[in-house]
Amino acid sequence: MIASLLGQEGDILNSIFQVVYLLSFLLFMFYGQKIQTLTMLREVGSAVRKLKTLKDDSRRLAIDTISEFGKNSGDPTPRIDHLLEYFTVMPKNLDPLGFVPKLEHLIDVRDLRFKKEIKIIAPEADKVQSSNIEGVLEVALGLNGIYKIVNHFYLLGRKTMNLYVIMQVQMQLPQIIRTAEAYSLAGKAFAEGQPIGDGAGALVAAKMMHGSENKEVAKNILASQIEHEGRTVFVIKADGPGANIGKYGVAIKQFIEENDGKVAMVIMVDAAGKLEGEISGSTAEGTGSVIGGLGVDAFIIEEVTSKYKIPVNGVAIKQSMEESVAPMTKAIFDGVNVAIARVKRIIHEETKEGDIVILVGVGNTVGVGQ
């Protein structure tokens, strides 16, 4: 009798499990996509709130920095909010011929507009402070754009409950959040005038030209002439310690043409993104224009060096995306010293006494003087 009761209890439990399994199967068959969509929406919603916090913090930092350095009697907030909505329309490239000059002109106009705006909202800021304020505003502008795009897809996905709309942003969330957090670190570095990882190349040039006279040779670009093992080395970097980048292409082209193309080599040093597993601050050598940006400087450098058959060698100092915009770490600083040793070895092995070499330290010069 007991065995019979136990058998009946087992049958009841099996029946309950079967019913639960069947109901779960039907639930996920008919509502699985909706449940998945709601889960993704919740995840993206959380990211939107985090991005809004980062955006608001960067806006507040911009207001505080301008108020501190600019000493404007009025409230800069409305003007800053106006700048945070600034946009740039890229030139049309249906006909590639002449695209680079149009892009260069567009960059110049945008840069001039920002500098004029900074002069209005921070009239008492000096040259270095104005450059750093521009960096803080660029960070705030970038974070505002990231937030608006992610929020757009979040609201659109919530409105349509379309899995594929929200999936577009959900799959990229880890990289988006990493980028936004890196931008936030950059804003603080610009506000405090601290060197950042991206300035590693500029620091190489600064150490090489230290103690030598320098002069401005292009927009926001300084150059020094030094002697190294019987070679004449023109060392080029952006004007620091303000947050500048400058027109490297114009400066290199000018030096090459002034010397009638008789330049033995161009060496470029810049920060480079590292892959996961690579060591921060490690260095690598290569061939070609080691420079980021929209490509204007690289185009000019490649055009003039190919015209005169001048080899272009590069030294990269590896770092993560976060490290490139955060205050410079000791590992990257140590990598700068290794890069200098590599540059000197390349000059020694690849050129001879009496040759002319151009050394370019690429990177943002916030906190990096001459």
Confidence check: pLDDT of 4 > 60: no
| H-helix or E-strand spanning residue 228 | strand 221-228
For all residues of the chain together, what is the average pLDDT? 89
The pLDDT of residue 245: 87
The pLDDT of residue 30: 64
Give the DSSP letter string of 156-210: HHHHH--HHHHHHHHTTHHHHHHHHHHHHHHHHHHHHT--BGGGHHHHHHHHHHT
pLDDT tens column, 100-149: 999 999 999 999 999 999 998 888 888 899 999 999 999 999 999 999 99
Q: If we measure between CA atoms, which residue out of 178, 363, 366 comes closest to residue 271?
A: 363
What residues contact residue 322 under an 8 Å CB cut-off, 6+ apart? 178, 181, 182, 185
* CA dist., res. 60 & res. 80, Å (int): 10
The pLDDT of residue 9: 55
- The model carries a pTM of 0.85
Confidence check: pLDDT of 32 > 50: yes
For the record, the structure tokens of 358 come out as 């151009």
Q: If we measure between CA atoms, which residue out of 245, 186, 238, 192 comes closest to residue 217?
A: 238
Percent share of the chain, pLDDT over 90: 60
The pLDDT of residue 3: 47
Count of alpha carbons within 13 angstroms of residue 313, beta-carbon side: 20
Compute the C-alpha angle 90/91/97, nearest 5°: 145
Confidence check: pLDDT of 210 > 80: yes
Give the rounded distance of the alpha carbon of 300 from its chain centre: 21
pLDDT tens column, 221-273: 999 999 999 999 999 999 989 888 889 999 999 999 999 999 999 999 999 99
Confidence of residue 5 (pLDDT cuts 50, 70, 90): very low
The pLDDT of residue 153: 92
Q: If we measure between CA atoms, which residue out of 343, 337, 333 comes closest to residue 235?
A: 343
Confidence check: pLDDT of 27 > 80: no
